[in-house]
Amino acid sequence: MNNTYDCLVIGCGLAGAVVSRELAEREGKKVLIIEKRGHIGGNTYDFLNDDGILVHKYGPHIFHTGSKRVFDYISRFTQWRNYSHEVLADIHGTLMPVPFNLNSLYIAFDSEKAARLEKKLISTYGTDKRLTISELRDQTDSELADVADFVYNNVFLHYTEKQWGLTPEQIDPSVIARVPILISRDNRYFQDKYQGMPSNGYTPLFEKILEHHNINLQLNTDANEVIKMIGNQIFFKGKPFKGTVIYTGALDEFFDCRFGRLPYRTLEFLFETHDMTWYQSKGTINYTVDKPFTRITEFKHLTGQDIEGKTTTMKEYPKAYTGADGEIPYYAILNEENFELYKKYRQLTDGFSDFHLLGRLAEYKYYNMDAIIERALKLADQMIGVEKGKD
């Protein structure tokens, strides 16, 4: 019966789960979540593999945020393992911290030169500062130009070419700016105030978010098969649906890619279990100058699982998304042309006042988990505010 639900949410990733909980809890809305995969959690889904090691099916996920609201909200559903992610770049076999920082400087250059460069970097930019590789490349001092060249060529250029099939100049500057250069000795990958891993993993966290009597879940169901937009009406299982629809999947796919596919990058993941307690010294090693994969992550560093003699790693191989069966669109390719195409799809939703686009795919953005939670909370605020306004 269509009248059973006030709200249909498509996709059970963070966006779908958080907005469902908000509407169910704060407004007493009866929500149905429709998810095409056989599990909850979207791309943050984790599970125990055959060797009992907790792994992330769709790539390594570390939670970090500067937002107290986001951290307090998500902490309702999980306790935390105190974990600060550290990443090393493998540069022809030499390992150094990424983001490139003052410790990296002393590995990249001999100690006398490094000491001189450290002084120059501090007098130019100040201590405890972060800057982008383009800012560093913009300055004119010839010795600092050496540092900029070193970091550009050894940290950013080849990794970016592998990840995007493009050079750093060809991608949106905000992408490269995610990884700064740090004028400090902070070896952490993220500098956010709140960071860690859910103590029991992401899937149990999702189970808690969804544990509400107003939330119903239908797995293994593609929304395209049960929801249609015809004229200015939404149909659910063949009958007009008058309630709210929140869509968190790829927007082009909802409209059968009628204007052509939105470009994305996808990844192939290679899981390997090794008969050893530890494979590498840190959670992630980035291969920034060679190898066909971008990075290797060893999950036990992230999760803190105490298992002797076995460990699982994941290699990531990026490639263009083609829409072939089994491929998943992981990264929107941000540029003006792609955003124009996205806008054409978005216009198709204009006539539907209670149809909302939410999430990394549906908004065609490069959102981290915390940004998605914030967006979902804001959308719920907005919807609740709008509805209260009507009272």
Q: Which residues of the shown chain bind ligand FAD in the complex (CB under 6 A)?
A: 10-16, 34-37, 42-44, 59-62, 222-224, 248-249, 267, 330, 359-361, 367-370, 372
Reduced to 3 states (helix: H, G, I; strand: E, B; else coil), residue 184 is coil
- How does DSSP assign 22-87, residue by residue? HHHHHH---EEEE-SSSSSSGGG-EEE-TTS-EEETTS---EEES-HHHHHHHTTS--EE----BE
Tell me how far, at minimum, the Cβ of 103 lies from ligand FAD, in Å.
Answer: 22
Tell me how far, at minimum, the Cβ of 11 lies from ligand UDP, in Å.
Answer: 19
Select the binding partner of residue 186 from ligand FAD, ligand UDP, none (C-beta < 5 to 8 A, by kind).
none
- Residue 211, classified by CB atoms within 10 Å of its CB into exposed (0-12), middle (13-18) or buried (19+), is exposed
Select the binding partner of residue 248 from ligand FAD, ligand UDP, none (C-beta < 5 to 8 A, by kind).
ligand FAD
The tally of CA atoms less than 13 A away on the side-chain side of residue 225 is: 8
Q: Tell the residue number behind the tokens 């494979």, with chain if given.
A: 279
> Which of 98/302 has CB closer to ligand UDP?
98
Tell me how far, at minimum, the Cβ of 152 lies from ligand FAD, in Å.
Answer: 24
Tell me how far, at minimum, the Cβ of 187 lies from ligand UDP, in Å.
Answer: 14
Select the binding partner of residue 224 from ligand UDP, ligand FAD, none (C-beta < 5 to 8 A, by kind).
ligand FAD
Tell me how far, at minimum, the Cβ of 27 lies from ligand UDP, in Å.
Answer: 33
Select the binding partner of residue 13 from ligand FAD, ligand UDP, none (C-beta < 5 to 8 A, by kind).
ligand FAD
Select the binding partner of residue 43 from ligand FAD, ligand UDP, none (C-beta < 5 to 8 A, by kind).
ligand FAD
Q: How wide is the angle at C-alpha 264 spanned by C-alphas 259 and 269, nearest 5°? A: 145
> Which of 29/64 has CB closer to ligand FAD?
64
Select the binding partner of residue 14 from ligand FAD, ligand UDP, none (C-beta < 5 to 8 A, by kind).
ligand FAD
Does 292 sit behind a cis peptide bond, omega within 30 degrees of 0 on the bond before it?
no
Strands 295-298 and 311-320: antiparallel
Tell me how far, at minimum, the Cβ of 217 lies from ligand FAD, in Å.
Answer: 11
The backbone region for 110, taken as left when phi is positive above 0, alpha when psi lies in -120 to 50, beta otherwise, is beta
> Which of 100/321 has CB closer to ligand FAD?
321
Tell me how far, at minimum, the Cβ of 47 lies from ligand FAD, in Å.
Answer: 14
Q: Tell me how far apart the alpha carbons of residues 164 and 173 are, in angstroms, rounded to a whole number.
A: 13
Q: Are 245 and 227 in contact (CB under 8 A)?
A: yes
- How does DSSP assign 321-366, residue by residue? ----TT----EE--SHHHHHHHHHHHHTTTT-TTEEE-STTTTT--
The backbone region for 76, taken as left when phi is positive above 0, alpha when psi lies in -120 to 50, beta otherwise, is alpha
Q: Are 149 and 109 in contact (CB under 8 A)?
A: no
Terminal-to-terminal C-alpha distance of the chain: 27
Select the binding partner of residue 283 from ligand UDP, ligand FAD, none (C-beta < 5 to 8 A, by kind).
none
Select the binding partner of residue 286 from ligand UDP, ligand FAD, none (C-beta < 5 to 8 A, by kind).
ligand UDP
Tell me how far, at minimum, the Cβ of 179 lies from ligand FAD, in Å.
Answer: 13
Select the binding partner of residue 10 from ligand UDP, ligand FAD, none (C-beta < 5 to 8 A, by kind).
ligand FAD
> Which of 9/136 has CB closer to ligand FAD?
9
- How does DSSP assign 241-278, residue by residue? --SEEEE-S-HHHHTTTTT-PPPEEEEEEEEEEESSS-
> Which of 12/23 has CB closer to ligand FAD?
12
Tell me how far, at minimum, the Cβ of 158 lies from ligand UDP, in Å.
Answer: 8
> Which of 106/367 has CB closer to ligand FAD?
367
Question: In the complex, which residues of this chain contact ligand UDP (CB under 6 A)?
Answer: 89, 98, 155-156, 159-160, 163, 175-176, 178-179, 286, 288
